[in-house]
């Protein structure tokens, strides 16, 4: 049975609303999938339903992480930003912050995968995982180098590597989202570089 992404998107939005998070849609710049502030999420209505759905459920996972440990997450992004300013001279320090960033993103996706199953859409876990594993690698490339390949080129190459067996997509372990109240945070943008002019922007996941 083919997934109805509008149905899945609506289920995620309704779950978010029940937790105090309002989700809206409107046209945004073409390299911006959305943004969130904790109690509010804004998604780009011009993106495909599949992309909106996966970015939204990941954003919900991220909001849960922020809300459960705002100080710790803020310290992570502050440290990562500072390390990137000295990436040429403090490579080891940058790698330490990148490792912490990857752990944060992984937890966000573990929450997201749990939510997909909780809503009755466990069949989407594999495609979500492929999408967000690719996004995580693109984000890692961006933080290391300051630039990254335009997203759809990156994803096409990723999918070719997976199809050929040269790359293995590691599943995210479902992690139950604990009770939380959506804490208001600085605006987090979900950016997606579309072409060579956008390659200095981070893909997909939020950039503090």
Confidence band of 77 (pLDDT split at 50, 70, 90): very high
Rounded to an integer, what distance in angstroms lies between the CA atom of residue 166 and that of residue 161?
Answer: 5
Instruction: Identify any residues that bridge with 40 across adjacent strands, giving them in sequence order.
Output: 22
| Model confidence at 1: pLDDT above 80 | no
**Pair of tokens at residue 171:** 């599943």
- Specify the pTM: 0.93
Q: Where are the domains of the chain?
A: 5-207
d(CA 198, CA 3): 31
Q: With bands split at pLDDT 50, 70 and 90, how would you rate the model's confidence at 147?
A: confident
Burial bucket for residue 186 (CB in 10 Å: 0-12, 13-18, 19+) = exposed
Contact 199, 193 (CB under 8 A): yes
| Distance in angstroms (rounded) separating the CA atoms of residues 190 and 150 | 14
Flag whether pLDDT at 137 surpasses 60. yes
147-159: average pLDDT = 93
pLDDT at 94 over 60: yes
pLDDT band at 3 (very low <50, low <70, confident <90, very high): confident
Give yes or no for a contact between 151 and 138, defined as CB atoms under 8 angstroms apart.
yes
For residue 180, what pLDDT is reported? 97
CB atoms within 10 A of CB 18: 8
């Amino acid at each position: 049975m083919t997934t109805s992404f509008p149905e899945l998107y609506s289920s995620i939005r309704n779950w978010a609303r029940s937790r105090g998070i309002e989700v809206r849609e409107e046209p945004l710049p073409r390299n911006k999938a959305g943004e969130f502030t904790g109690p509010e999420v804004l998604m780009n209505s011009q993106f495909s339903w599949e992309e909106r759905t996966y970015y939204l459920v990941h954003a919900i996972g991220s909001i849960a992480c922020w809300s459960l440990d705002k100080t710790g997450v803020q310290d992570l992004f502050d440290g990562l930003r500072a390390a990137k300013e000295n990436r040429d001279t403090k490579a080891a320090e940058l790698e330490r912050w990148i490792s912490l960033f990857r752990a944060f993103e992984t937890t966000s996706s573990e929450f997201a995968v749990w939510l997909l199953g909780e809503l009755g859409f466990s069949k989407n876990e594999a495609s979500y995982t492929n999408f967000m594993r690719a996004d995580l690698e693109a984000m890692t490339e961006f933080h290391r180098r300051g630039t990254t390949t335009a997203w759809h080129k990156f994803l096409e190459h990723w999918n070719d590597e997976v199809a050929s067996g040269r790359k293995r997509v590691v599943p995210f372990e479902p992690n139950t989202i604990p009770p939380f109240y959506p804490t208001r945070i600085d605006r987090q943008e979900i950016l997606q570089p579309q072409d060579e002019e956008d390659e200095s922007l981070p893909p997909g996941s939020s950039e503090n």
